[in-house]
């Protein structure tokens, strides 16, 4: 079931860029909820991904994926939720 939420999170339309997300975190509008592993590959050549809109188990907000330098089978997904 968790894979369904991750799939939905990764395939939502982008409505916020990275700078806007960082400003929202700084202003307290959005908070970092947690970071977890998901099964999938994220290219190591891209430093930052664009935030993807997220509506799911942990609330509403955005997710960002990043590479896991210790594995090619698992990558990180970070959940940012509206405060």
61: left (phi over 0), alpha (psi -120 to 50) or beta: left
pLDDT surpasses 90 at 81: yes
Note down the domain range covering 50: 2-82
pLDDT surpasses 80 at 80: yes
What is the rounded average pLDDT of the residues 14-33?
87
User: pTM score, two decimals?
Assistant: 0.77
The pLDDT tens digits of the residues spanning 64-78 come to 999 999 998 999 999
The contacts of residue 42 (CB under 8 Å, 6+ apart) are 49, 65, 66, 67, 68, 75, 76
Number of separate domains in the chain:
1
pLDDT surpasses 50 at 3: no
What backbone phi and psi angles, to 5 degrees, belong to 53?
A: -65, 140
């Amino acid at each position: 079931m968790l894979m369904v939420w991750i799939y939905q999170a990764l395939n939502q339309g982008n409505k916020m860029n990275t700078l806007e997300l960082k400003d929202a975190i700084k202003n307290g509008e959005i908070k970092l909820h947690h970071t977890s592993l998901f099964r999938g590959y994220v290219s190591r050549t891209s430093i930052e991904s664009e935030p993807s809109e997220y509506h799911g188990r942990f609330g509403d907000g955005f997710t960002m994926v990043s590479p896991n330098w210790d594995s090619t089978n698992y990558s990180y997904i970070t959940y940012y939720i509206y405060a």
